[in-house]
A and B are shown apart, each in its own frame.
Chain A
Amino acid sequence: MSIFDSSAVGRRAYRFPDLDVPEVGLDELIPREHQRQSPPGLPEVSEVEVVRHFTQLSRKNHGVDVDFYPLGSCTMKYNPKINEDMAALSGFNRLHPYQTENTVQGALALMHDLAGYLSAIAGLASTTLQPAAGAHGELTGLMIMREFQRHRGDEQRDEVIIPDSAHGTNPASAMMVGCRVREVPTDSRGGVDVSALREMAGPKTLGLMLTNPNTLGVFDENILEIAEIIHQVGGLLYYDGANANAILGMVRPGDMGFDIVHFNLHKTFSTPHGGGGPGSGPISVSEELTPFLPYPLVTKTASGYEFFRPAQTIGRVKAFYGNFGVLVRAYAYVRTIGADGMRQISETAVLHANYLMRRLQKSFYLPYDRHCMHEFVLSGMNQKAFGIRTLDIAKRLLDHGIHAPTVYFPLIVDEAIMVEPTETETKETLDRFIDAMYAIAAEAEANPDLLKDAPHSTPIGRLDEAAAARRPVVRWEASVEDEA
């Protein structure tokens, strides 16, 4: 039921204080032509109805707090509760962005230090915290690349090279800075086809966008050669940090040759996804690119922390300074984990992924049979013989109380099933997932119809997506009986 269905004329929840100043006639304050004629049709409900409605909705939703969430490339690790409390401190969440710097020294110190930590993890010179999400970080990074090339008189560079295994945001971001996309194929080991890359790179190359480990969960061993090819033709290397959970304290993108890195704080740094946001997508850049970062940045001076504007800044990618509340959570996370704990995150994430991969390989086809990093990609091809598609496997998993892996991505693997367990799950949970997957593989042979109609235990069955897209209903409307 919709909250609108509960509405009853005259019912109230929250009350504003009474007007405590002498009332002036509305017509004196705003001319008739600017006055709203018909009030917005918001629901009229009591507080208990609101709380129950949303509590009941929440119970129809899976989350990391509910059970395992092995969604590849999304790093659904545990979101520590203490970080929520820290972000809710009034000294952080009741700050106005236009307060003078002397009144927000704690917030500026936090931003300054978090930027420094991320620079250290990236192995690069400096960091902006402004982008609101990973894709926003990509856009910012590409804008910096274009501005840098323009600055050195290389304006003709309008091609971005992107592997065929890349996240869809990469080509879409390239389009938003007016660039053409050149797609480089994947070689038989799952890495960039180096000879194809060599042919593509040239005077038109703005740069290469790469995820490493890539979306197959494979670390590209040729990374130094790849970096050299791009740099030799005057291009830049962009690191999509969606998979950074594999490399914390192990290897730095800057050392691999990357000039720009974005991090997804809502993946690697444990801030909650919130059902699709808010995220945060800081980017770290090399010394050479630092003057082009968005403004303002925070610097530390003898008298305290201050905002400043980099010399050749591209401008602003967002109002104010970024998703500060998310930054507070990520800062708390880095301080909790510390220098001594970073490596353990990636080691455990990689251990968990390899353990799952090797055990699941017994029932599912593994297209790239080598050690994976923090995630791996299976294919539902073995099950296709029984008329079962990857979608059916994913839906059946929901009946086990486990969220489905990422499916049909990367596009280069037929019937792809992309699994990322993260470091925060217990071995018992991993084993329960393995048992569920084995059971599903057995069902695919013995009782395929069970899978095709799955899920069976969720609040709702498979939905008609074609009908939704053909005649879109994107807002609630009172039904005819309601109006009568």
Chain B
Amino acid sequence: MSYVPTTSSEREAMLGAIGVSSVSDLFAAIPKTLRLTEDLPLPPSMVEAELITHMRELAAKNLDMDALTSFLGAGCYDSLIPSAVKHVLSRGEFLTAYTPYQAEVSQGVLQAIFEFQTMICELTGMEAANASMYDGATALAEACLMACNAAKRTKVVLAGGVHPEWKEVVRLYLRHQDIEVVDLPWDRSTGVSDVQRLEEIVDSSSACVVVQQPNFFGCLEPVQDLGDHIHRLNGLFVMAVDPASLGVVKAPGEYGADIAVGDGQSLGNSPSFGGPSVGFFAASQRLLRRMPGRIVGETKDKQGRRGYVLTLQTREQHIRRQKATSNICTNQALNALAATVYLCLIGRQGIRELGCLSMQKAAYLRSRLESLGLAIPFSAPVFREFVVASPVNWQEVNERLLDMGFLGGLWLGDSFDELQHCCLLTVTEARTKSEMDRFSTVLGGLI
């Protein structure tokens, strides 16, 4: 099956207009020795009906979160998605558009991005936001690079509670730019950054301190202490946040952050095995011209009508080339649109309810499990994720949970040597009391 509409008589007509006798004449510039003479080693073509059968077979080899009740999170969430989101996203004018370089025929995408930027500013309490990044991890890496450029310093301090995969991405991005990355240790009893170590680790050569709120363990960090400390040293304060928390938990802007980033998967984007999601990137106004990525601005046409354009493009790779603020070009526009539609649908009241529901439910499950004998190793308050401990083999426990229809939590022993007996559980707004009660009973029986 192919999507080529050209008939053989049309092909002949075009060859005639070009003045060649065959299509292969057009490939004459390719050295003969390089030209392939056989088909590539790929499977044969399929028609739509065959493809559907094949893809359904493949999909059936996966156990998805319609079949399983998930308590797994750690950066990717089983959240409720209003039906209208997918209907808006399936509009071909959004789905099949390129980057909005021709503003006059791209007002739809441009205005949607402008509204996305506004909503990210509102959520984070920051003054300016860009059109999106690949994901939260790469947004954080770009934030560190921007902080180093703005502060003209070459050291980044990462709070130990930042998502381990995000830390890996940050380290890789910074490795080739001679930037030192230092961990601020987390405290074993609280589960959050050890503020006693600030003085020793963060100094006047530090471009920024990076903290994730809530952190990887779901705990609320002593954000104010970290922010105040780096600001005294004239460095920048970078926060990574869970957008679902921002109806109830203090916003980065309220904490005095200079840059705020995060991942917007849980705002209307399906988990999709970890991607595509959407990274968001916000900063204070004075850093606007240092931001990576696309930015949409408002302006007017000759008749004075309001319209939107890609603006401050001189920061970007297609103009400034090796002096650009970043190499990012394609971003996650459609996922940003999903987040925008989602935030419109849940609205000002919904964002608070979302945070409250998740937090109340997580607290409920946590106390249920505590009463069943699971230990809660960290004392810090949590949002929608929390760590439990029990001297069991969590991988085996998760296998048994799977048999009972549950997607258990994330065993932490893989990433943290000191947490062999710990598991990270997540409760989103999608979980019900009866699911949590059943889960508690089953899990209680396994430990």
- Chain A min CB distance to B364 (Å): 4
Interface residue count on the A side (C-beta < 8 Å) = 200
A31–B381 Cα distance when bound, in Å, is 8
* A37 and B254 contacting across the interface, CB-CB below 8 Å: yes
Q: Specify which of B52, B72, B103, B327 is in contact with A176 (CB 8 Å cutoff).
A: B327
Which residues of chain A come closer than 8 Å to B2, judged between CB atoms? 336-337, 341, 344-345
* B273 and A2 contacting across the interface, CB-CB below 8 Å: no
Q: Does A153 contact B (CB under 8 A)?
A: no
18 A-B pairs in the complex with CB atoms less than 8 angstroms apart: A34-B220, A62-B97, A64-B92, A103-B402, A104-B63, A110-B58, A132-B275, A251-B30, A278-B275, A332-B55, A354-B20, A358-B18, A359-B17, A463-B307, A463-B309, A464-B300, A473-B298, A474-B297
Which residues of chain B come closer than 8 Å to A31, judged between CB atoms? 220, 381
- Chain A min CB distance to B380 (Å): 10
Q: Specify which of B1, B47, B96, B172 is in contact with A79 (CB 8 Å cutoff).
A: B96
Which residues of chain A come closer than 8 Å to B121, judged between CB atoms? 475
- Chain A min CB distance to B423 (Å): 12
* B344 and A117 contacting across the interface, CB-CB below 8 Å: no
Interface residue count on the B side (C-beta < 8 Å) = 206
A4–B106 Cα distance when bound, in Å, is 20
- Chain A min CB distance to B372 (Å): 16
Which residues of chain B come closer than 8 Å to A474, judged between CB atoms? 114, 117, 128-129, 288, 295-298, 311
Which residues of chain B come closer than 8 Å to A134, judged between CB atoms? 329-330
Interface residues of B in 61-78 (CB under 8 A from A): 61-66, 70, 72, 74-76, 78
Q: Does A138 contact B (CB under 8 A)?
A: yes
Q: Does B286 contact A (CB under 8 A)?
A: no
- Can you name the residue of chain B whose Cβ is closest to the Cβ of A430? B14
* A16 and B347 contacting across the interface, CB-CB below 8 Å: no
Interface residues of B in 112-167 (CB under 8 A from A): 112-115, 117-119, 121-123, 125, 127-129, 131-132, 134-138, 145, 163, 165-166
A226–B75 Cα distance when bound, in Å, is 45
Closest 7 CB pairs of A and B: A91-B59, A320-B274, A338-B45, A65-B92, A274-B334, A106-B61, A97-B274
Q: Does A447 contact B (CB under 8 A)?
A: no
* B220 and A30 contacting across the interface, CB-CB below 8 Å: yes
Q: Does B99 contact A (CB under 8 A)?
A: yes
Interface residues of A in 324-379 (CB under 8 A from B): 324-326, 328, 332, 334-345, 347-348, 350-352, 354-355, 358-359, 370-371, 373
What is the number of contacts between chain A and chain B, taking CB atoms within 8 Å? 692
**Beyond known contacts A34-B250, A97-B274: 12 more, CB 8 A cutoff:** A34-B249, A42-B119, A43-B347, A91-B56, A91-B61, A97-B76, A178-B178, A275-B95, A325-B273, A338-B43, A424-B4, A427-B10
Annotate A452-482 by CB proximity to B: 1 below 8 A, 0 otherwise: 0101001111111101110011111000000
- Can you name the residue of chain B whose Cβ is closest to the Cβ of A2? B115
Which residues of chain A come closer than 8 Å to B109, judged between CB atoms? 57, 61, 275-276
Which residues of chain A come closer than 8 Å to B196, judged between CB atoms? none
A31–B246 Cα distance when bound, in Å, is 15
* A277 and B132 contacting across the interface, CB-CB below 8 Å: yes
* B40 and A169 contacting across the interface, CB-CB below 8 Å: no
A99–B272 Cα distance when bound, in Å, is 12
Q: Does A398 contact B (CB under 8 A)?
A: yes
- Chain B min CB distance to A259 (Å): 16
Interface segment out of the listed A21-29, A230-238, A283-291, A381-389? A21-29
Q: Does B186 contact A (CB under 8 A)?
A: no
| Chain A interface, >50% SS class | loop
* B327 and A169 contacting across the interface, CB-CB below 8 Å: yes
- Chain A min CB distance to B296 (Å): 7
Which residues of chain B come closer than 8 Å to A220, judged between CB atoms? 29
A249–B23 Cα distance when bound, in Å, is 14
- Chain B min CB distance to A48 (Å): 9
Q: Specify which of B40, B96, B345, B349 is in contact with A120 (CB 8 Å cutoff).
A: B40
- Can you name the residue of chain A whose Cβ is closest to the Cβ of B15? A351
* B26 and A371 contacting across the interface, CB-CB below 8 Å: yes
A110–B61 Cα distance when bound, in Å, is 11
* A424 and B5 contacting across the interface, CB-CB below 8 Å: yes
* A36 and B249 contacting across the interface, CB-CB below 8 Å: yes
* B76 and A348 contacting across the interface, CB-CB below 8 Å: no
Q: Specify which of B51, B72, B90 is in contact with A98 (CB 8 Å cutoff).
A: B72
- Can you name the residue of chain B whose Cβ is closest to the Cβ of A47? B84
